[in-house]
């Protein structure tokens, strides 16, 4: 009988899934993937999935994540996939705090810890935990594994993760840099090392995850040693709807003005400011839209507002890349990934143009989309060229392999992931 690993990502109103078939030598291949959207909104809930190239789309009332999972399992059965053939379920969990710096087999203690960490990530850990608990109810006899977004950044040294704040805030409230998108940064860093023929434990680079959420990570000898997102995903780069780095004093300034001008209570004003910084800022605040492809088209057509938004976005990214580059003795690659990083050659080129001292030579491949490729190299005389790569991210394959090895095979994390092995000799 065929064996499958199921990867789940349970959001506040969605359920993303990817079912991987286990092949020879423990290779995994995606068999069926999709999403249940608008969970809890029965009038708009929608199931979309792709199975072996065939796309399916169904409007089905889904009132809860329990119902979403039942719907998924019915569709699997409809596609001749028995529940008995699923040998492990991997769950994306955003926050593992200082407790979890690797993926772990889920038990009652792990569930309690994820619950205890909800105050650090209330918008993410709570729905993630719902997905875990509901999936365990429906598939109780198989291993479930938690894969944490923060885990890869567990190697960041204290001097890089501590804020210069009262010590009790750190000790009692856990206020420190955690970083996010760790599974994505891990995947593309390992792929980059393989493509360049460098043992991963020797790889130094800067990984640049640019999507609706954006983060950049500094990697030394295969380990994350700094990252742009901080205590929450709000810190760092300009993003789709998030402000990124700001002077924290502006929060009280704007809240005071809202109290004075709008008659809000201080609590209402504070909530309004935080909502705006997370949901109404970033590219959306600068242009009215958060989709980079729309902003890029407008900028190329001469729209000054869109062009300025691009300048702000790309300059902030270049600042972090330059900072991290300067702190590494040797850099093997800059790696772009995620929706913008994989698809927007114009944005990549503008980011690199801000790094004048590195003298990047842009290649024709830069204007291609969503494939592993080298898009630029440094061209400083007398120095070894450094690659700029595009590597499409695959967080779900990391979740699936961690689940296979930790949960089903009970071997612990793999020393070398199968996706680090390339059939081609390199870039």
Q: Tell me the three state secondary structure of residue 367.
A: helix
SS3 at position 147: strand
- The SS3 call for residue 149 is coil
| CB atoms closer than 10 angstroms to residue 364 | 8
Measured CA to CA, the distance from residue 362 to residue 78 in angstroms comes to 48
The set of long-range contacts for 12-17, using a CB threshold of 8 Å and a minimum separation of 24, is 12/123, 12/126, 12/127, 13/37, 13/38, 13/39, 13/40, 13/41, 14/38, 14/39, 15/39, 15/65, 15/68, 15/69, 15/72, 15/131, 17/49, 17/72
CA 10 vs CA 61, 100, 127, 248: distances in Å: 17, 19, 6, 31
Long-range contacts of 421-424 (CB under 8 A, 24+ apart): 421/194, 422/191, 422/194, 422/195
Beta bridge partners, 369, equal none
- Within 10 angstroms of residue 143's Cβ, the number of other Cβ atoms is 20
The helix (H) or strand (E) run that includes residue 315 is helix 304-326
226 is catalytic: no
Which positions ≥6 away from 111 have C-beta within 8 Å? 129, 132, 133
Give the span between the Cα atoms of 275 and 407, in whole angstroms: 38
Assess contact for 347 and 210: CB atoms under 8 A: yes
Q: One of 116, 149, 247, 294 is an active-site residue; which one? A: 149
Q: Which two tokens stand for residue 333?
A: 């690659």
CB 296 within 8 A of CB 273: no
Chain-centre distance of CA 210, in angstroms?
9
Tokens (6 digits) for 26: 């423990």
Q: Are strands 4-10 and 86-93 parallel, antiparallel or unpaired?
A: parallel
C-beta of residue 377 within 8 angstroms of C-beta of residue 333: no
Supply the residues annotated as catalytic.
Answer: 149
């Amino acid at each position: 009988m065929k064996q499958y690993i199921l990867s789940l990502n349970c959001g506040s109103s969605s359920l993303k899934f990817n079912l991987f078939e286990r092949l020879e030598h423990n290779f995994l291949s995606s068999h069926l993937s999709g999403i249940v959207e608008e969970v809890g909104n029965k009038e708009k809930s929608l199931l979309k999935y792709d199975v072996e190239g065939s796309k399916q789309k169904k409007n089905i009332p889904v009132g809860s994540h329990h119902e979403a999972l039942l719907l998924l399992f019915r569709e699997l059965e409809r596609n001749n996939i028995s529940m008995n053939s699923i040998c492990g379920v991997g769950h994306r969990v955003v926050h593992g705090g200082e407790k979890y710096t690797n993926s772990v087999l889920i038990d009652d203690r792990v569930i309690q810890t994820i619950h205890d960490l909800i105050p650090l990530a209330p918008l993410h850990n709570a729905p993630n935990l719902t997905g875990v608990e509901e999936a365990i109810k429906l598939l109780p006899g198989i291993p479930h594994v938690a894969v944490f977004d923060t885990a890869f950044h567990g190697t960041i040294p204290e001097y890089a993760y501590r804020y210069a704040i009262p010590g009790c805030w750190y000790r009692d409230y856990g206020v420190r840099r955690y970083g996010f998108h760790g599974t994505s940064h891990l995947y593309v860093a390992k792929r980059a090392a393989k493509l360049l023929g460098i043992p991963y434990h020797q790889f130094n680079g800067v990984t640049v995850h640019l999507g609706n959420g954006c983060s950049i990570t500094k990697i030394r000898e295969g380990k994350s040693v700094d990252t742009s997102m901080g205590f929450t995903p709000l810190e760092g780069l300009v993003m789709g709807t998030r402000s990124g780095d700001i002077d924290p004093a502006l929060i009280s300034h704007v809240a005071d003005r809202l109290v004075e001008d709008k008659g809000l209570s201080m609590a209402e004003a504070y909530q309004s400011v935080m909502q705006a910084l997370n949901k109404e800022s970033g590219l959306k605040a600068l242009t009215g839209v958060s989709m980079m492809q729309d902003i890029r088209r407008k900028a190329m057509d001469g729209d000054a507002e869109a062009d300025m938004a691009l300048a702000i976005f790309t300059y902030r990214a270049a600042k972090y890349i330059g900072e991290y580059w300067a702190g590494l003795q040797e850099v093997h690659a800059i790696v772009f990934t995620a929706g913008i990083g994989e698809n927007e050659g114009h944005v990549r080129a503008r980011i690199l143009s801000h790094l004048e001292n590195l003298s990047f030579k842009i290649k024709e491949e830069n204007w291609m989309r969503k494939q592993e490729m080298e898009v630029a190299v440094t061209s400083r005389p007398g120095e070894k060229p450094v690659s700029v790569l595009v590597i499409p991210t695959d967080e779900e394959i990391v979740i699936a392999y961690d689940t296979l090895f930790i949960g089903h095979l009970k071997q612990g994390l793999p020393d070398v992931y199968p996706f680090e092995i390339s059939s081609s000799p390199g870039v």
